[in-house]
Amino acid sequence: MSIENTQLRCNTPIVYMGMEQGNKLYIKRDDLVPYSFGGNKARKGVLFFEEIEKGGYDCVVTYGSSHSNHCRIISNMAAARGLPCFIIGPSEVADSTFNSKFMKLFGADIKTVPINEVHDTIKEKIEELRNIGKKPFFIPGGGHGNIGTEAYVRCYEEIREYEMQMGVKFSYIFFASGTGTTQAGLICGQIKNHDDRQIVGISIARKNPRGRNIVIDSIKEYMPGISDDEIQKNTLFVDNYIGDGYGAECKEIREVIKDAMIRFGLPLDSTYTGKAFLGMKKYIDKERISGSHVLFIHTGGTPLFFDDFRKM
């Protein structure tokens, strides 16, 4: 299957899972985007590679850890086109995972450096490639930027289309919020359509105010001119459930992963979706949400599920 066909089939299913904590729970299965285990990074990757092809770029540089779904997807899409892919990663999160094994399978050139050296290393790599006559395209970590935001503006339209077809209204939308553009895109879609609902990003790493400000900056970049009051009102970035930080698991998350697999046949992982699912459950309890239609967006990470499964 070509990636062009993937673009036409990014409209992923929304599945009703049953009652959860007194609410009707639905899941949008973005892990079923039909390319390289899917996920939000596959949605974004399709749009990034449109730009790469239009601009005639001949190699790709990006950033991410060994847990990165983004780096798995980008290296796969680059390999499919015969383009060299260079990944700069933090040595602090460089353990062996199924995602990192896929990156190697796809022939990515992976370099790990201390996190405080990442920025300069990326700059040096791009300069080095240009000096030997290459035309590199840089994709920020996690697919950050307007292209990544656009992917989730489109996803938001899919959600609205489902609501209209099925006669339901999601009062809450939950998902894992990392580099920020997934959440920014959903909020931009909400603002464009003047919808009244809560879009709740569960942070998987960043604390407030930094994490929330990054989302807000992405919204402002994509929709210049929107009032600050409207952006502030719609940006709910919850950092209460980060635990020990990015990529860190704990017993509580492992139990959520087991339960979701047993009850729903749903693969979650401790880096992204499992942490977000646990955060959603705790948020619902804390806010005493009941009698609502709740949507959880599964943003992918199936290879990471198997990393966690090996430890169970």
Query: What's the pLDDT tens digit per position in 119-169?
Result: 999 999 999 999 999 999 999 999 999 999 999 999 999 999 999 999 999
Reported as a single tens digit per residue, the pLDDT across 175-233 is 999 999 999 999 999 999 999 999 999 999 999 999 999 999 999 999 999 999 999 99
Domain 3-38+145-311: assigned CATH number: 3.40.50.1100
- Whether the pLDDT of residue 242 is over 90: the answer is no
Listed by start position, the domains of the chain span 3-38+145-311, 42-143
Strands (E), the chain: 14-20, 23-29, 59-63, 85-90, 109-113, 136-139, 172-177, 198-203, 236-238, 293-298
Q: What is the model's pLDDT at position 107?
A: 98
Q: Are 214 and 239 in contact (CB under 8 A)?
A: no
Same fold, 3-38+145-311 and 42-143: yes
User: Residue 86 corresponds to which tokens in the numbers above?
Assistant: 């260079």
- Whether the pLDDT of residue 103 is over 50: the answer is yes
Residue 203 CA to residue 279 CA, distance in Å, equals: 9
- Total-model pTM: 0.94
Q: What is the model's pLDDT at position 251?
A: 87
- Whether the pLDDT of residue 7 is over 90: the answer is no
- Whether the pLDDT of residue 6 is over 80: the answer is no
- Whether the pLDDT of residue 3 is over 60: the answer is no
Higher local confidence (pLDDT), 17 or 241: 17
Q: What is the model's pLDDT at position 249?
A: 57
CB atoms within 10 A of CB 24: 17
Reported as a single tens digit per residue, the pLDDT across 37-78 is 999 999 999 999 999 999 999 999 999 999 999 999 999 999
Residue 111 CA to residue 108 CA, distance in Å, equals: 10
User: What is the DSSP code string of 106-160?
Assistant: TT-EEEEE-GGGHHHHHHHHHHHHHHTT--EEEE-GGG-SHHHHHHHHHHHHHHH
Buried b (16+ CB within 10 A) or exposed e, 224-241: eebeeeebeebbbbbbeb
Q: What confidence tier does 245 reach under pLDDT thresholds 50, 70, 90?
A: low
- Whether the pLDDT of residue 311 is over 90: the answer is no
Rounded to an integer, the average pLDDT of 82-106 is 97
Q: What confidence tier does 250 reach under pLDDT thresholds 50, 70, 90?
A: confident
Q: Work out the burial of residue 278: count CB atoms within 10 Å of its CB; fewer than 13 is exposed, 13-18 middle, 19 or more buried.
A: buried
CB atoms within 10 A of CB 212: 22
Q: Are 33 and 299 in contact (CB under 8 A)?
A: no
Q: What confidence tier does 2 reach under pLDDT thresholds 50, 70, 90?
A: very low
Rounded to an integer, the average pLDDT of 103-112 is 98
Q: What confidence tier does 100 reach under pLDDT thresholds 50, 70, 90?
A: very high
The fold for domain 42-143 equals Rossmann fold (3.40.50)
Residue 298 CA to residue 295 CA, distance in Å, equals: 9
Q: What is the model's pLDDT at position 312?
A: 85
- The pLDDT > 90 percentage for the chain reads 92
- Whether the pLDDT of residue 23 is over 50: the answer is yes
Q: Work out the burial of residue 116: count CB atoms within 10 Å of its CB; fewer than 13 is exposed, 13-18 middle, 19 or more buried.
A: exposed
Q: What is the model's pLDDT at position 286?
A: 97
CB atoms within 10 A of CB 95: 11
